[in-house]
Structure 1
Amino acid sequence: MATTTYTGTPVAGPAAGTAPAPAAPGRRARTGFGLLGPRRGRHELSAAEFDALALPVADDGVVIGTDEHGAPAVLGTGRPVPFDIVLVGGVWTAQVLALRAVGTGARVAVETGRRQMWTALAQAANTGQQAITLHDVGRVPPQGPAVHSPVLVVRDCGVRPPRGRTGPAPWQSVLTLLPYPGPTTPRLTARADVVGIQRVSPDEARQLGRAMNLPPHDVDTLSTLPDGVTLWCTRTSRTYVTMQPTEPETGLLGAARRMD
């Protein structure tokens, strides 16, 4: 008996001088690849079907609270494109966002003129590595953001923040914290990708309403928002988000508050 060698288990071949059996109709013999297995559809897409292939990456980011329906609200700070955020509100909310960004694997650089308000947070987060770094105003060095090391820059520079040396970039988002609207607010909100607004005075609410194209009901609501509630909006969409701190966040930062 002659033997034919395959990559799989050797299988006995036909006796010498005997013609091989014809292949089954519609199937051609394969040499050197073992026995034919079950026939299944190939995992392939045609060119016309390729556009339907997508990955669910729109819901990743920092959980900033729950929306009006009780569903988690997520702010995608780690993006392959520049992302600019403006928050008109209190430092407490910005600190919770920074702490949660660290929890997602991001590095946080805080540019601030009130370092004492961020020192405890940085010390708590920097366990084994420099997850949160503090910098004086205008002194933030290049952060070197990358897909495996995204960066969130928090600018806590008062109501008139100077132009930053480190701006939005791929995998680097910038959050500008404004305690209340000021002369630079229209310029900052005009270029922002998303704006968060906490409780403000009625006059300030009207100013922000014009800038963000808010309907009258939302303009009236802004002056009555409870602590911990933020209206996150663009010029075409908006949602109210309630931030509920976890026990460790409450122990470190205290309860939700609008004023510092």
Structure 2
Amino acid sequence: MSYPMPYPEERADRPQPAPAPQPVPAPPAVARAAVPVARVPVAPAVTSAPLATPTPLTRPPDEPGGPPTGPDGERPRDRTGPSGQTSRLRIGWHTVPRAGLRRVTATPPAPAGLLLGRDQQQVPVPLRLFTPDPVRVTLVGGVWAAQLLIFRAFSVGVRVVVVTTEPRAWAGFGERATGQQHRLTVVAAEPGGPVGGTAQTPLLTVYDLGVSGPMTSPPLGPWHTQLTILRQLDRPGVAAVQEAGLVVLQRLGGDEAALAAATLRLRPQSAQLLQQMNDDMMALIGDGDDRYLFLHQTGIEQQYMGLPRR
């Protein structure tokens, strides 16, 4: 039996063509991620060049108290702790340029006393009502002005005794102002004997007897202040004005202003100003100076006592 012979191109000893390359599937995205390569730090080359001088921090001229800025004008971030507060200063030397030191000023302390108001320059005007020595004050004005002073005096813990011929004007005032019943007492007769207060609880005795003060000057103890209210300034009240170390006045009429100027030896210009004051103004005579001030009544004071009036 004979077998067919292969064609010359199909002979086994002839080299066969290589198969076509098959596409290799792409590796997953995770496999393609770049693997970080650790870099070995290289020491800087040794050179004889001088070291660079750092640029000092400067303050902007328009903000003398602001934080320092760098040469590019950027400010460093404020370092804060876990509670959000600025970290403490490091103990050491802190330098200030002379130009910035010249801008540092010291604010003078506010004068001591009960704030009565502010003058035209917005300077606080205090009233020294409570001191270790007895104090006598006379107010020429209405019950509203007296209650304003007492309302502000409640903030320092004062205890008030009111001697009055018109108890209705004082009924419930102490309870409304303090929420307590023993802070203000209304009586009809003058208390006898010297009574004093303490630095923590001063005593204020108020005499609201119309146009005159008490018949005799009652003795006063330490931390004890006497406030005499003259609803109208007339001859019977001249003695209360003369005995007072401080006199507080609301706007006066023509006859009242003339009598006050003669009693207190005021200048003619002061007598005119006493008649021209607004409802929210007072005059403080004594303590070495005559002051005209604005009361700057607060919202709470308006709620309890209403708008200024005499």
Same topology, TM > 0.5? yes
The 1:250/1:167 distance shift into structure 2, 3 A limit, reads farther
More strand by share: 1
How far residue 120 of structure 1 moved from its aligned partner, in angstroms, is 2.8
> RMSD of the alignment, in Å?
2.3
Deviation at 1:103, TM superposition (A): 0.8
Q: Mark the CA change 1:146 to 1:186 in structure 2 (over 3 Å): closer, same or farther.
A: same
Structure 1's unaligned 5+ residue stretches are 1-55
Q: Distance in 1 between matches of 2:227 and 2:233?
A: 15
Given that 1:66 and 1:243 are in contact with CA atoms closer than 8 Å, whether structure 2 keeps it comes out as yes
**Could you tell me which of 282, 295, 307 is aligned with 1:243?**
295
Which stretches of structure 1, 4 residues or longer, exceed 4 Å deviation after superposition?
A: 139-143, 164-167
Task: Please tell me whether the aligned partners of residues 111 and 140 of structure 1 are also in contact (alpha carbons under 8 angstroms).
Answer: no
What TM-score, normalized by structure 1, do the two folds share? 0.71
C-alpha distance in 2 between matches for 1:81 and 1:178: 23
Q: Is the 8 A contact 1:147 1:171 kept in 2?
A: yes
Which of these residues, 201, 204, 207, is aligned with residue 149 of structure 1?
201
Q: Aligned AA for 1:72?
A: P
Name the residue aligned to 2:239: 187
In structure 2, C-alpha distance between the alignment counterparts of 1:58 and 1:163, rounded to whole Å:
38
Which structure is richer in relative contact order (CA contacts within 8 A, separation 6 or more)?
1
Larger Rg: 2
Gaps of 5+ in 2: 1-107
- Give CA-to-partner distance per residue, 1:156-191, whole Å, 9 cap, x none: 111023326754332001110101112232211221
Q: Give the TM-score of the pair, scaled to structure 2.
A: 0.60
Identity %: 30
Equivalent residue, structure 2, for 1:118: 170
Which of 129, 138, 147 lines up with 1:95 in the alignment? 147
- C-alpha distance in structure 2 between counterparts of 1:73 and 1:146, whole Å: 24
Quick one: distance in 2 between partners of 1:82 and 1:142?
A: 11
Amino acid at match of 1:146: T
CA distance in 2, matches of 1:57, 1:142: 35
SS at match of 1:223: helix
Is 1:65 the counterpart of 2:99? The answer is no
1:251 and 1:164, CA in 2 relative to 1: closer, same or farther beyond 3 A? farther
CA change 1:73–1:129 in 2 (3 A) is same
Query: Is the 8 Å Cα contact of residues 113 and 129 (structure 2) preserved in structure 1?
Result: yes
Question: Given residue 212 of structure 2, which amino acid in structure 1 is its aligned partner?
Answer: R
SS in 1 for 2:129: coil
